[in-house]
Structure 1
């Protein structure tokens, strides 16, 4: 009788582990999920870096206010699109298979969508700058907002860098931070 009870309890324990996602293949499920995210992330991070590079080049000096305005607006649009694409990647991937995965997904998507909207707003502000009046002051205001958004971007990804999910993402090529990668565009 004790053997039957032990076998039944063993079977129940195995079922509970499988239902809670704590089975032996949970690491594989997490790796599969992070691979989906990281494959697109590499592309989007590259777009953000390209926008950062164009911002740095045009804002070094020697360019007319009209050139700066045009380049900034284009770069902000590129960054907005990249964050929007990342938000969609997280939506499409579903919740990560870890404790609190649904909340993590929801929070990250909300933050990425907020960043996308924030950079779209910066694009509009850059387009409204008057190259003949108050241009430098307007750029300073935009630069301050870029700094705030950069902190938000770091916050969004910090949530993903913890625990089993963080370990899995760190092992994915697409999620490795490229050398010298800035975290936010500089204006």
Structure 2
């Protein structure tokens, strides 16, 4: 019953892969100041990524369980959406705290766009949590219809936010920024695990 919702809502997971699937390029190493900036951003990724992956796993797990009582489903969805909101807000905050990548043309705009998109995605999940919290759990049919309506409307918004967030992160991660991030163990580890587990989330 909830597979559509799960499929639509786990799209946000792509963002973390975009943020951390870095590979090094170029012979000359990036500016040390830029490397320090990348470390600030990358060090925040694993903890937030764990939250996001775990939340997506919860959504996927209950989507296949049609016998779950509405109250339990509501609780699981609400917690997952809260975790997703927290995860993306954490990434947005990390980018915001790091500031503009030093020595990069247009770096401030690229950094602000990426942070703004991540914060927007976080807000979408806060909104989803509120809507799920408001569903009628006394009646299985009403609850199922409510979830379907949420999937139809909200999932589209989350999908749009996720796409624009991915684009903003790709723009931020071009050239020297990508090379600087590639030197960070916290980015490298995630990049490797993302490619090793294409079905995760």
Q: Same fold (TM over 0.5)?
A: yes
The farther-off stretch of 38-47 and 152-161 is: 152-161
Deviation at 1:141, TM superposition (A): 3.8
Shift of 1:83: 1.2
Aligned counterparts of 1:142 and 1:148: Cα–Cα separation in 2: 15
Listed as ranges, the gaps of 5+ residues in structure 2 are: 1-27
1:86 matches 2:91: yes
Aligned twin of 1:5: none
Offset, 1:68: 1.2
Residues 1-187 of structure 1: pairs in structure 2 closer than 5 A:
27-61=31-65, 62-97=67-102, 98-131=104-137, 132=139, 133-143=141-151, 144-145=155-156, 146-175=158-187, 176-177=190-191, 178-179=193-194, 180=197
Distance 1:26 1:152 in 2: 27
Name the structure 2 match of 1:6: none
Q: CA deviation at 1:120?
A: 0.4
Greater C-alpha radius of gyration:
1
Shift of 1:127: 0.8
Q: Distance in 1 between matches of 2:164 and 2:148?
A: 19
Q: RMSD of the TM alignment (CA)?
A: 2.3
Normalising to structure 1: TM-score of the pair?
0.75
Deviation, 1:182, is 6.8
Runs of 4+ deviating beyond 6 Å? none
**How many aligned positions are there?**
161
8 Å Cα contact 1:49-1:181 kept in structure 2:
no
- Unpaired runs of 5+ in structure 1? 1-23
**Greater relative CO (CA pairs within 8 A, separation 6+):** 2
User: Could you say if the C-alpha distance between residues 52 and 181 of structure 1 is closer, same or farther in structure 2, counting changes exceeding 3 Å?
Assistant: farther
Structure 1 residue 39: Cα displacement: 0.4
